[in-house]
Amino acid sequence: MSDNQVKLNEGLSRYEILVDGQVAGFAAFRENVDGVRDFNHTVVQPEYRGQGLSTPLIQEALDATRTEGKKIIPTCSAVEHFLGKNENYRDLVAQ
């Protein structure tokens, strides 16, 4: 059984999901001056695809963003798709 963890990598402006300590994927964002995060790219490395990692990655990235009191722009199609399936996160979208 693998050990998954989502962490903020501030230097690269992205949340990373680690599987057994290895970066398996990330949700990158651009921080706008008004406190809005533009989530613009989500990647799960080929060798980790099909393991359901994008959902916990995006969920934890959005939870952390909410905790920080920030809003989002879902430029990335994966984040937009997640929002379509999870109504309780739609309040995070900047108007």
pLDDT tens per residue across all 95 residues of the chain? 467 999 999 999 999 999 999 999 999 999 998 989 999 999 999 999 999 999 999 999 999 999 999 999 999 999 999 999 999 999 999 98
Burial 21-38 (b: 16+ CB within 10 A, else e): eebbbbbbbeeeeeebbb
50: its two tokens: 């099909």
Cα separation, 95 vs 92, whole angstroms: 9
The ranges assigned to domains in the chain are: 4-92
pTM for the model stands at 0.94
> Tokens representing 74?
């879902």
Domain 4-92 -> CATH class: alpha beta
